[in-house]
Structure 1
Amino acid sequence: MTRRPDHVSPRLLRRHPLPTASGGKRQRGSLLVVGGSRRTPGAAALTGLAGLRVGAGRLTLAIAASVASPLAVALPEAGIVGLPEDPAGSVLGDCAETLLAEDADAVVIGPGLTDIDQTAVLLRELLPRLCAHTAVALDAFALGALAHHPELAEPVAGRLLLTPNQTEVGLLLGEEPRNEAAGARETARRFDAVVSCGGIVAGPDGAFRVRAGGPGLGTSGSGDVLVGAAGGLLARGAAPQTAALWATWLHHTAGERVARRVGPVGFLARELADELAPRLAQA
């Protein structure tokens, strides 16, 4: 009989402590976010903002070159790298050399990417060449590429974090799981990764459930905030399961906090990101 997921609470989180947030920005880690096509630069921006809100020291956004300058103005805390794009504004996958020059502690790939085939090229060229200490989080079209090419995860097995929704879990497994917990567990096992999906976190230490949240989390950009929080904690040096537990709890409890102030639905993903730091301080 499969054990039910454990409930995630502040008490449980204290058994999975985060690295101490001391020292300068380099000591708190460097986060690289790869995403942001011409049509969707905001996804990468939300991801990076969430990473900073949970304490990552340095942020670089690698996005389509045509929107690099405006985003540099909109998010002055970030370094910006312009990536080659096709006529439709989708980021081209042949950019590994540019990204490797950033020497990041954690890399988030996917938010705002709009071409699965080019994303697969990017993953194939970049992941095997990352430093052994670099943690990786995949979201959005990067998960779609992984569903078509599961071997892409092999170079970063054991240091990989995935943030699929239920539809993406079905694509990654090739079938609909019998329930959320089973889907997260099987995805984690298949890709030797930690998975955060719908409040379920599954990894080598078992499965956990965050019961906070609410319907307001089903809003544009909410997933970008989740993976950004996870990426920021990975950059600080947290292990993938620790990063996923904290990021999922922060994301869901931030949703409850904003809902009490704004309303159960209708709040914005950027408001979730702004609530991460207070929730982290109070945990």
Structure 2
Amino acid sequence: MLDARHLPRHLPPPELLDPAAMARADQAAIAAGISGFTLMEAAGRAVARAIRQRFAPARVLVLAGPGNNGGDGYVAARLLQQAGWPVRLAALAPPGAGSDAARAAADWSGPRAPFTPEAAAAADLVVDAVFGAGLSRPLAATVAATLAAARNRVAIDVPSGLDGGTGAARGEVSPAALTVTFFRLKPGHLLLPGRTLCGEIVLADIGLPVSVLGAVAASALLNQPALWRLRRPGASDHKYRRGTVAVIAGEMAGAALLAAEAARRIGAGLVSIQALAPLQGVAPGLILRHAPLSEIRADVVVCGPGLGVATARAQLPAVLRAGRQVVADADALTACAGRPEALRGAAVLTPHEGEFARVFGPVGADRLGAALRAAALSGAVIVLKGADTVVAAPDGRAAINASAPPALATAGSGDVLAGMIGGLLAQGLTAFEAALAAVWLHGRAGALAGPGLVAEDLLAALAPALAEADEVSARSPDRPVRR
């Protein structure tokens, strides 16, 4: 459903619900009068429909666990059998007496199979309805081996063993060709390695009313233009009203030049290079300055790209004292290794995983939680970069980005992103919105630039990425997102 190379016509809803939040949404729907069995029937119907739309009739084995995930599997098995597919069902354990899953199991009268690797290997298609997103322990060896024996897998909710909150694999998790989930995506569908284990993701409507979100705060958000609005120049604007950015240039001036050009392309009205050493090759539209950093007058300062660690360590305190909004990237982060308090006063920090570990400690298995803790500690918006970039704010808001292709893993790409964030801050977006917008546009520019991408290509691709953002915004309903 989410492919960084192609922008879908309709993006999924932005709210992401972890397993606990999704359970509360189910409970709210049941309290409103929708029975749990009705939801189970709708979920199983959605699974059967997705399978029939993507696969030719084949020998199917449904692996059913004892909980609601297994109940969904019993329903899907029954509906596929009614459609004429040859279906067998293997139960890991019987559902609890009196449960919705037990009622679904009672409706299954078809053939059964043992829950073994041999049975899975004999099927053309295996439906993984063993455990849902809330599993809190590693898969048992027999379950993992049975799932691994399948030639082709469809997962209900998540592949069994995948943590729906963090995307971490609990034990040996077998990848699915298709994952069918319900109502809202989970963080684990987007965070690695979960994203690579889910295959194609289908988000199905099973009848939960959107009103249940009034009682359930989103665990995080899926980054998309519905979460932010870009400022467009008005007839009375001039360059100072559109915002000013200063980029500090040091040892590797090319990095600062990339950041500065990105700030210009994203819409800042005036961008200057604050050079700490002689500098050649500045583009005609850039202002070159050699004044002391204490005299910076720009609205936003981008500090770190190509600056050199020693220089950053010496100069960052003065930059932070200047009272401007600061985007701290690259060497400015490494200069504060083990000293996160030294970054207090910055608006946005943009570490990749290695830089994050130097400043805040290892990311660990919970990437979302790590970014939120770092944001609270530093008082800055954290952009934890990667294929599954997380943007976290000190107030507890967070979003996961899914617009970036692997080709962005190239030298200079992060410098462009830092400049984009600076340019959007200068135009009046909040730090959280500027980070979200820049990360999404950066990913789309990478996808639009295509094969053979180098960082310079991102600059030319920003214009069509901005046009895409406008198009998506025009299709997005104007509604608040509860967090």
1:23-34 paired onto structure 2 within 5 Å: 23-34=237-248
Could you tell me which runs of 5 or more consecutive residues in structure 2 were left unpaired when the two chains were aligned. Answer: 1-19, 21-164, 166-217, 470-483
State how far apart, in whole Å, the 1-side matches of 2:262 and 2:357 are: 27
State how far apart, in whole Å, the 2-side matches of 1:267 and 1:103 are: 35
Structure 2 residue 335 is matched with structure 1 residue 149: no
* Matching residue's letter, 1:117: A
Structure 2 residue 468 is matched with structure 1 residue 282: yes
1:84-108 deviation digits (Å, cap 9, x = unpaired): xxxxxxxxxxxxx712333110000
State how far apart, in whole Å, the 2-side matches of 1:71 and 1:62 are: 14
1:21-75 deviation digits (Å, cap 9, x = unpaired): 33011100110001331xx211001000110111000011123423x2x233xx1
Of 357, 365, 381, which residue of structure 2 is paired with 1:194? 381
1:161-201 deviation digits (Å, cap 9, x = unpaired): 01100111111212343232222212211101101122211
Does the 8 Å contact 2:247/2:301 carry over to 1?
Answer: yes
1:31-110 paired onto structure 2 within 5 Å: 31-37=245-251, 40-66=252-278, 68=279, 70-72=280-282, 75-82=283-290, 98-110=292-304
1:118 to 1:102, Cα distance in 2 relative to 1, 3 A: closer
Of 299, 314, 338, which residue of structure 2 is paired with 1:121? 314
1:209-252 deviation digits (Å, cap 9, x = unpaired): 11111210000100001111000001111110010000000001
Of structures 1 and 2, the one with the larger relative CO (CA 8 A, separation 6+) is 1
Q: CA deviation at 1:5?
A: 2.9
Q: CA deviation at 1:4?
A: 4.4
Deviates most, 40-49 or 170-179: 170-179
The Cα RMSD (Å) is 1.8
1:128-156 deviation digits (Å, cap 9, x = unpaired): 2x23xx211000010012224323223x1
Of 222, 237, 243, which residue of structure 1 is paired with 2:434? 243
State how far apart, in whole Å, the 1-side matches of 2:403 and 2:362 are: 27
Q: Structure 1 length as normaliser, TM-score? A: 0.82
Bigger helix fraction: 1
* Matching residue's letter, 1:172: V
State how far apart, in whole Å, the 2-side matches of 1:173 and 1:205 are: 17
State how far apart, in whole Å, the 2-side matches of 1:81 and 1:149 are: 30
Does the 8 Å contact 1:52/1:58 carry over to 2?
Answer: yes
Of 326, 340, 355, which residue of structure 2 is paired with 1:136? 326
State how far apart, in whole Å, the 1-side matches of 2:281 and 2:294 are: 21
Q: Structure 2 length as normaliser, TM-score? A: 0.49
% identical aligned pairs: 35
State how far apart, in whole Å, the 2-side matches of 1:267 and 1:20 are: 28
State how far apart, in whole Å, the 1-side matches of 2:268 and 2:328 are: 18
SS at match of 2:275: strand
State how far apart, in whole Å, the 2-side matches of 1:79 and 1:270 are: 20
Does the 8 Å contact 1:18/1:242 carry over to 2?
Answer: no
State how far apart, in whole Å, the 2-side matches of 1:56 and 1:205 are: 28
Q: CA deviation at 1:205?
A: 5.2
* Matching residue's letter, 1:168: E
Of 194, 206, 210, which residue of structure 1 is paired with 2:401? 210
Does the 8 Å contact 1:166/1:180 carry over to 2?
Answer: no
State how far apart, in whole Å, the 2-side matches of 1:201 and 1:229 are: 15
Report runs of 4+ in structure 1 exceeding 6 Å deviation: none
SS at match of 2:246: strand
State how far apart, in whole Å, the 1-side matches of 2:277 and 2:312 are: 16
For the pair shown, which has the larger CA radius of gyration, 1 or 2?
2
State how far apart, in whole Å, the 2-side matches of 1:282 and 1:175 are: 35
Q: CA deviation at 1:20?
A: 4.1
Of 351, 359, 362, which residue of structure 2 is paired with 1:164? 351
State how far apart, in whole Å, the 1-side matches of 2:339 and 2:314 are: 10
Could you tell me which runs of 5 or more consecutive residues in structure 1 were left unpaired when the two chains were aligned. Answer: 83-96
State how far apart, in whole Å, the 2-side matches of 1:186 and 1:272 are: 31
Residue number in structure 1 paired with 2:361: 174
Q: CA deviation at 1:258?
A: 1.1
